[in-house]
Amino acid sequence: MADEFKGARIFLNIPAEIAHDPRIKRDKSVLLFGEIYSMLNVTGSFFMSNEQIAKRIRARSTRTVQNCLDELENLGYISRKVIRDPNTKAVIRREITSNWYPGASKCRRPMQSNAGGWCI
């Protein structure tokens, strides 16, 4: 499809609190969140494959992408859901959503520290 969204062309939307979150250990995770958030803002859904993501963020492998997705999910910034065919149980697609929005607390995890508001 010629009009299919292939990622941000001019700017990535990377919130400052995510870019400066000291708990994020991988710089690629910050870039990946920018890709996710940018696509969600334009299309309302995130549908890039790990292979496409790896190219966009210049990752060496899809394992790097998986590690970044795991990190973002563990920190509460994104949620993932695998959609399966009810009959065959084959994976149809995955859904990635953002748990971050402007003005939100720094994460959705239930326990937060008092100093700085970061999740613990």
Tens-digit pLDDT profile for residues 6-39: 666 677 889 998 999 999 999 999 999 999 999 9
CATH number at residue 73: 1.10.10.10
Q: Has residue 2 been placed in a domain?
A: no
92 occurs within a structural domain: yes
Asked if residue 103 is part of any domain, the answer here is no
Rounded alpha-carbon distances, angstroms, from residue 18 to 25, 34, 53: 11, 9, 19
What's the domain count of the chain? 1
Straight-line distance from the first to the last Cα atom of the chain, in angstroms, rounded to the nearest whole number: 43
pLDDT score recorded for residue 42? 85
- Residue 45 has what pLDDT? 87
- At residue 42, φ and ψ (nearest 5 deg) are -90, -45
Cα 35 to Cα 11: distance, rounded to the nearest angstrom: 9
> Within 1-120, where are the H helices?
16-19, 27-43, 50-56, 62-74
73 part of a folded domain: yes
Examine residue 116 and state whether it is found in any structural domain, yes or no. Answer: no
39-75: pLDDT as tens digits: 998 888 888 899 999 999 999 999 999 999 999 999 9
> Interior CA angle at 32 toward 50 and 77, to 5°?
110
* Residue 111 within any structural domain of the chain: no
| Domain range enclosing 84 | 16-98
pLDDT of residue 56: 92
The answer to whether residue 113 scores a pLDDT higher than 90 is no
Residue 112 lies in a domain: no
- Picking from 119, 40, 113, the residue whose alpha carbon sits closest to that of residue 79 is 40
Other CB atoms within a 10 A radius of the CB of residue 6 amount to: 11
Does 9 fall in a domain? no
